[in-house]
Every structure is written in C-alpha cells, then in structure tokens.
Structure 1
C-alpha cells in the first residue's frame, strides 16, 4: 500500500489523469498457494479501501485477487474519485514456465458481466470497458495480450482510444524486444494508445521483474521507461491526443467495426477527464521523444537483472551483506563480482544516504567510495575444491 500511495501522490502532483499499476500490484504476483486463502483476498480489499481514499481527481487501475461466488479471480480494479467504477477479472490464465495461475484462479468468460458488492458499493464485475467522458478505456491483463485467443479481436476494445495492460511479466534475456513488438502491434491493431505496465523487483526470491513501462501509439513505441531501476517504483508520464486516435481509426479500415455490436451493457460510465492544459495552463505537453533502452545486449541485461535481484533480496531479507564461499573457480568468482557490482551501482543510483536507508546500514568511513561499501558488506571465505 505504501509504495502505491507514494506513486499516486507523485502522479497527482504531475496532474496525471489516468494511472495504471501492474497486475496483482496490491499483493504481489507470487503469493502462490496463499491466493487460495480468503484472508489474502480480504487483506487486499482492505488495502484497496485505503487506496480508494487517495483517488480524488484521478482514475487509478490496480491489480488484486477478488473472491466471487466460490472462486478466486485475478482482477484489475478501476477507481475514480473515491469510487470503484468496475472490476475486470482476467479472462485468459498463464500456465507455462514459472506460471501456474489455473492452480489459484479461475478464468472469467468473455462478454459476461455480474454484479458484485464490494466495500459498500455495487460494482460491475466482468468483461467491461469504461466511458470517461469522451475517452473510451479498455483493460487487458497480461496473458490476454500474449494469447492467440486474446483481445486482439475483442470488439469492445476496438472502439477504445486508450487500452491499458496490467502485467506481471518476468525477466528473460531478449524479452523486452518481444514486449515492444507486442505493444506496438496491439496499438496498431486497435489504432489506439496502448499502455503497458510491469512489476519491478524480486519476488519470492526467484523471479525478477524489470519494471518496464511502454506506451504504444498506432504501431510504434512512443515512450518507454528505464528498466532495472532500484527505486521502489517509477512513473512514465505522457500526454495523449484523443483526436489522433479517432482519425487513425477512421483511416484504418482493418479496425473492427463495432457500430452494430451490442456492447453498451458492458460499458461503464465514469466522469470526464480534464485536458492537460485545462488542469494546468502552464503545463508542457509531455509526448515528445522516446528514450533509448541501453540494456539490450545479453550480458548487460544479465548484469542489470542480477543487480535488481541481489538488491531486492538483500533489502527484503534485512541481511547485513553477502558471505561467499570462494573455491577459485569461475562460478564463485562471478558471484563475488555480481555482489560488488550491485553495491557499486546502488551507490551510484541512490547515493550514500539512499543506500544506507535502503539497507538500514551505517555509513562507512568513506561513503562516496564504492570500495568502502564493498569491503564492509561482501565477505569471502576460501574453500578449495
């Protein structure tokens, strides 16, 4: 809750109108069998209630498990001005590699909507999209975008100017390029803005998330965040032009014709959003330029992913440092290098006070020198093979 609250306040300070968090952002993705506990869903709802209180003047999407009619669902909650507009349960679950979602969750059928009572509100629960004034907003949850049976042909999304994707996509070498292709292709298919969000950090001691944020615009990547950050969260802020999306839909005849489809019963009305210049006449339009991803080489990706994994493991375990058994071989030597590299990079990114605060460590004699931190926090013991 605390990290979500900090990011909501930071977004409001930048006059953000729509803010999207990743999949299962309230609980984390890797609760595993704890998702089978009603207590987990109950605690997630308790956090959601606190988050709702922060949403005056902003529309927020967060991920959480929701218990409904005897089953647990992996959901996105859409909140606006202290009110839940709707709950979107995931329709296609992941069951490959490190993912076992069908063990804990049930998939929701396409085009179905049920009523549900949550936190004192009657809320639509199901395959819904949102009409926020003149903006139509669609929701996608991770695997729904990757699957061949997913939302590329979903009629309710093809009318949207903005589609948001709440994801928990684990790190793998080269996967970022695949994600970029996915986001660009989806934005082309819908002729819309397509926002992709991902988790950041290490979960359950074994799965790393790179925190990548992407904005697709009619077939290209319009904005991206820096991956592998050591902050507890980051924002990617961009302004969008709804008229550009509408003109693109008019020009592109391959976009699904939704005029004859009965989807009104699956459209939830919310309040209209403000234009960027209306909310702050002095604000500079934030839509120019795309930052370059400098972490595309495999060995650089590996180094950066290990940096995030080691940093988050050390922080969450509240350990005082690393102890490494050195045999003189390649494996243990690489481990020592990775630990030292993480500390040096964390010092560069967070500064001495930020690093000390993250790990609750005292400052060394020379806090600006990474060698002082490494000597203090990396211990090696020689054990010959």
Structure 2
C-alpha cells in the first residue's frame, strides 16, 4: 500500500444559472486534475448552479437543472477513476440544503449538507437553505429517477459523514464552517480523519486573504492533517467578487497556492503529500488528545485508493510563504477583474466614465486601465478564453490586444462635462490622465443644457433661482448644484448609448459611477446625478484608500498625471468660482475630513455604535486633536447627515464590495431610510455626558 496522495482543488469562475458554462468549467477542472495525477478533485461551493442564484433557489427549475448537470457529470468519461466533489442544492424530505455530492465511477458515494449557514453581511443563506443540525447523523436519500438510471442506486448516505478509502479518510467542511468556533475539522481530526476539504464562495474584502490563510494554517497545526480549500472566483452575478485563493495545507504549512486575482476561468491546484507526515505529526503533537469520540464520524467506505504502490520516488510539495497583495494592489486587481466579468458577460462594447479630474473618477479610470493591462497579460499568457471575449467585445475577430493603452482606446470612453463653475485645472487634469491611459476622451460644456432646464422652470414659475454667492438662498443654491449634477447623468447615458453609433461602431457602453464609500455614508452626492450609473468599481472603497491607490498607480503604471490630481483639494465644482479659483471643497461641505469619516463608518457598522456609543469612543480616539465639545458636534453632524440622506442609498449604483463598513442598502447594510433626524433622546444623552465631564473638570 502506498503512502503518497495527489489531490486537486480549484477556483472556477462560475456564473449564476449558467448551467452550460458551469458544466464545461467543472469538466475542464476534472480533466486538468487527472492530467496531474490527482485521485481527488474538490470544487467551489454550489459550483453547478452558481453561488449567487439568490431567490432562484426557491425555483424547482434550479434543483432540476442541477441534477441534470450532475447526470452529465456522472456519465462523462472525464469523471472516471477520480473522486469528484461537486456542490449543488439538494432537497431532502422537502427541505432545501446546500450540499456536496461526492461520486466515483458513476456511483454517488455520499451527500454532505452544509451545517452552518452564512447569514450576515453579504450572505442570506438561511433564506434559501436549512442547516443540517444533526451532527454525526446520516439518513437515506432517495435519488431522482434520472440519477438512478445512471448509478443503479436507489438511495445514498445523506448527512454528517466522512469518506473512508482504502488508505485514508476524507472529511468535508463548507465555507462558513471553517470560520466558526466549533469547526467540524477539529472533531473530525480527533476521530482520525486525515484529509479535510473546504468548498467556499468567499468574497474579496481588502486584506481578508490573510484571515483565510491563518484559519487554514491554524486548523492543520492544531490537529494535524491535510487541508484542501477551493473557492469561487469572479463576478457570480452580484456586487461581490470571489477572489479564488485556492490552497493546500498540511500540518500548519501552506504547500500550494492559487492566484487571488486572475482572469482564468479555470484554475486547478494540485499537491502530492505524504500521509505518513500527518500520522507522524499527530503521533508527537496530538497523541494525548486522539481518542474515540462518544459519537464517532459515520464512515462511508469506498473500494478505492488515493495512493499507489510505487510512489516512493514521487516528490512531495514543500512549505511555501504565501504571497499577499498590498491593499493598493488589491484595489488595482479586484475591481478590475470584476469589471472584466461584467463587461464580457453583459454583451456591451465598453465603458463610459464622466471624468472630472478628481480622485474618485481618476481612481475608476485607473481601475479600467488595470483591467486592460490584465487582459493584455492574459492574452500574452495564451489565455484563449480571454482572447475570444475581448474580440467579441471590440467586434473584431482578428484583434490581438498587446498594449493596455491601445485596448483602453477601444473599450473606454471618458467624458469631461464642464460648466462655468469648472476650473481649467480640473479640465486639464482629466485630459492629461485620459491621454496617459489612452481612453477615447471628449470635452463638453453643460451650460446650455442647464440654462435650458432653468428656462423651463422660469417660464412656468416666473422665478429664476440664484446661487448663494449671488444673493440666493440655501435652497436655491442646492437646487442649482443638483441641476448640474443631474444633467451630467442624463448626458452620460446619452453618450453611452450613442457615442459608438456616432463613430460608426456597434454596441453601447456601460456607464461607470465613481462615488466612494465615505460619500455614501453621509449621502454627499446628488440623487440621480452622475454617481448614478450601471456599476461602480469604487463604491466600497474609502477616499483614504483611493489616494494610496493612486500613488501606487503613479509608480506601477507610470501615470504621472495623477500627481496633480492627488495634490488638488476634492471639490464638486458646482458653485461659482471666486476670481477663477475653486471656492467649494468636499470636506468643508461635509463638515468633516475623509479620514474622520472612515473612522466613523467603521464604528457605525463594524463596532455597531449608535450616536452615544460613538461619542464615548471618539472622545478618547480623537482626544489629541479635538475637544470633547468638538467631538460631540462631529458625531451629531454625522448622524444628522446620515439620517437625512439615508434614502439615497435605496437608489445607489451597484458597487464593488471592498470595505466591511459599506452602507450598501438592503444587501450588506440592513438599516431603515426614514429616521427622526433630530435624534432627540440620543443627542440628549451625549449632552448630559458632556455636561458631566465638564463639571468634573
């Protein structure tokens, strides 16, 4: 009997309800795994139907088509002589479960339902699935007739069980279960399970990868064992991006690592490992704790070996250091991959971006340029799928993208929409950046459109509003700013629909938004202005992080035009200039800095602070720069702005999720949009505490 096993895990760019595409990618991954000598192949969570089916999980069609795909997998010669571990929804006793289905040579070995649901943040699994809350219990599952005809099986084991081969024992963990205090791998390891598998649909957040790596290293360092981690990748059909990072670990060390950001639809990671290393590790480190559990794992036996008799000379994988991306690299790569998936699957011909010459829109432009760089690199690396997709996007079957700047000119249109309130500096900054990235750039003045709308209003009411600088009221001043902002949105969509037509080219363009997460927190944008778009790659990223990202782009992409953009104060340029210079700035309008907003946003969402709790924390966090009275004023001002403008989040552009304090309405952040904006009780508590502190001093 051999001792070395070759195992495969993978990251697949699956798409919700794309059963044809999902089937082909699964088969491709199995084929690659077998070519590398693997006897076990693990795929990501719900890979057959796609993880992001949401309320489509309620439809019987989704269950039916998943079983139809499983039938084709069972019948395919590609799946022979390798244990295949695939994910799909299964209904058992009229209850819907998120399951792993393990099969070998046209026989289903077991079905393992997920036991802990992800039901926070971006996830609502308890809406669609029930957890299997019967540890160590296994029941009979009656297979659908279409599967019985292939497998000649009437029932198969369903429940919390493990697979026992001739040479080892394999146990399943699913995504959220790894993150729980009582993860299944601990008890499985104590009961002698040597190989743990985890099928995930884990989304990208800035700096989240190290959490996954540390959890997996910790899992195998505690009880020993081999850990296979598979993850979904790409845009499944929603705002999140699944970032791959498939890996293999053994006894606390990572021995194989997949890419975190990649345009490859199928990525297979294989590793050859020595089972005796697990046994030796446990013999020294875990022996006193290895004992028979009161309720041992139910073992499903299979007459199959993962090892061979002549494997002594087979080299094994050695520990490696995980290569983590910096946050700036993650901003460059994650949203770029997300944009590429959205573009190639939407059937559109490219993107249009209102480019103002500020940090936010410039960051969005740089992300598109990063996408073009990734596409050119993938084509250079012989990624045929990317080549086919980019040719379809540009409408040229002979096109070979080689230069990101040239590709940018084909798929990216930038548009500076100036007015009499715009400065020449912002216009030139936008033009210089567009020149350096190669976008198809246009300039237009919106004054004629704004004056036309105001003329209609004046004809109906007999009144013409004035800016505050010209003697108008606050109400007039705000309305005049909003008119300009909304005109830009209308023009952006007009040009997105017709600019390709005007150039004699087919297709339309997707409009990109560029409002950052901090502006969404306070509602510092006009409802239905040019922040209203089709998708927004920076909507979950803070202003502070975007500035660091632009510094990275200066060095990495040699985009020197960004230096001037970074040195300029953020401004909406919607109020009249003073002596030709900008007098309006974002931070003055908001009454707080962007760095202050990031702190407040994290306290509000992550630490779950209301006004009083936030005040109590900030008086110590900001004691070196603000007095307690000033802190109280900042907290009150934020909550007033937040509650007054919360309704804007109900219509905000779908944005790439990147920050854990995103205020994205009804998906990540479940808060109301109608408030008592005076916060009478809460603010009175702050005032009372402030008075007490002043008396004590």
TM-score bracket for this pair, using the shorter chain length: over 0.9
2:389 is the counterpart of 1:358 = yes
Match of 1:195 among 228, 243, 249: 228
2:181 maps to what in 1? Answer: 148
Which range is displaced more, 362-371 or 222-231?
A: 362-371
Instruction: Kindly report which structure 2 residues correspond to 1:216-227, keeping only aligned pairs within 5 A, or say none.
Output: 216-227=249-260
Instruction: Kindly report which structure 2 residues correspond to 1:62-141, keeping only aligned pairs within 5 A, or say none.
Output: 62-109=86-133, 110-118=135-143, 119-120=147-148, 121=153, 122-141=155-174
Q: How much does 1:255 deviate?
A: 6.9
Q: How much does 1:370 deviate?
A: 2.2
2:304 maps to what in 1? Answer: 272
Instruction: Give the secondary-structure state (helix, strand or coil) at the position aligned to 2:171.
Output: strand
1:287 maps to what in 2? Answer: 317
Q: How much does 1:159 deviate?
A: 1.0
| Equivalent-residue separation in structure 1 for 2:157 and 2:299 (angstroms) | 10
2:243 is the counterpart of 1:210 = yes
1:48 maps to what in 2? Answer: 70
1:178 maps to what in 2? Answer: 211
Q: How much does 1:301 deviate?
A: 1.2
2:417 maps to what in 1? Answer: 383
Instruction: Give the secondary-structure state (helix, strand or coil) at the position aligned to 2:34.
Output: helix
Instruction: Report Cα offsets for 1:314-341 as digits up to 9, x if no partner.
Output: 1211221111122232222221111121
1:328 maps to what in 2? Answer: 357
Kept in 2: contact 1:211–1:227 (CA 8 A): yes
Kept in 2: contact 1:184–1:218 (CA 8 A): yes
Kept in 2: contact 1:224–1:291 (CA 8 A): no
Kept in 1: contact 2:47–2:88 (CA 8 A): yes
| Equivalent-residue separation in structure 2 for 1:366 and 1:194 (angstroms) | 40
Instruction: Give the secondary-structure state (helix, strand or coil) at the position aligned to 1:229.
Output: coil
Q: How much does 1:261 deviate?
A: 4.1
Task: Flag the 1:353–1:39 CA change in 2: closer, same or farther, 3 A.
Answer: closer
| Equivalent-residue separation in structure 1 for 2:333 and 2:196 (angstroms) | 29
| Equivalent-residue separation in structure 1 for 2:319 and 2:179 (angstroms) | 27
Task: Flag the 1:153–1:290 CA change in 2: closer, same or farther, 3 A.
Answer: closer
Q: How much does 1:269 deviate?
A: 0.8
Unaligned runs of 5+ in 1: none
Which range is displaced more, 147-156 or 102-111?
A: 147-156
| Equivalent-residue separation in structure 1 for 2:62 and 2:277 (angstroms) | 42
Q: How much does 1:267 deviate?
A: 0.7
| Equivalent-residue separation in structure 1 for 2:37 and 2:239 (angstroms) | 36
Kept in 1: contact 2:185–2:196 (CA 8 A): no
Count residues with an aligned counterpart. 381
Kept in 1: contact 2:48–2:69 (CA 8 A): yes
| Equivalent-residue separation in structure 2 for 1:98 and 1:363 (angstroms) | 39
Kept in 1: contact 2:387–2:400 (CA 8 A): no
Unaligned runs of 5+ in 2: 1-22, 419-573, 575-697
Instruction: Report Cα offsets for 1:252-305 as digits up to 9, x if no partner.
Output: 2367434364536x11011322436748x9x8524135264252x111112111
Which range is displaced more, 163-172 or 152-161?
A: 152-161
| Equivalent-residue separation in structure 2 for 1:199 and 1:258 (angstroms) | 35
Q: Over aligned residues, Cα RMSD in angstroms?
A: 2.2
Kept in 2: contact 1:130–1:269 (CA 8 A): yes
Q: Which has the higher Rg, Structure 1 or Structure 2? A: 2
Which range is displaced more, 46-55 or 26-35?
A: 46-55
Q: How much does 1:201 deviate?
A: 0.5
2:232 is the counterpart of 1:232 = no
Kept in 1: contact 2:162–2:300 (CA 8 A): yes
Instruction: Report Cα offsets for 1:80-108 as digits up to 9, x if no partner.
Output: 12211000000011111001110100000
Kept in 2: contact 1:73–1:89 (CA 8 A): yes
TM-score (norm. length: structure 1): 0.92
1:2 maps to what in 2? Answer: 24
2:59 is the counterpart of 1:33 = no
| Equivalent-residue separation in structure 2 for 1:277 and 1:373 (angstroms) | 53
Kept in 2: contact 1:155–1:256 (CA 8 A): no
2:35 maps to what in 1? Answer: 13
* Structure with greater proportional strand content: 1
Instruction: Kindly report which structure 2 residues correspond to 1:158-177, keeping only aligned pairs within 5 A, or say none.
Output: 158-177=191-210
Which range is displaced more, 347-356 or 227-236?
A: 347-356
1:314 maps to what in 2? Answer: 343
Kept in 2: contact 1:249–1:255 (CA 8 A): no
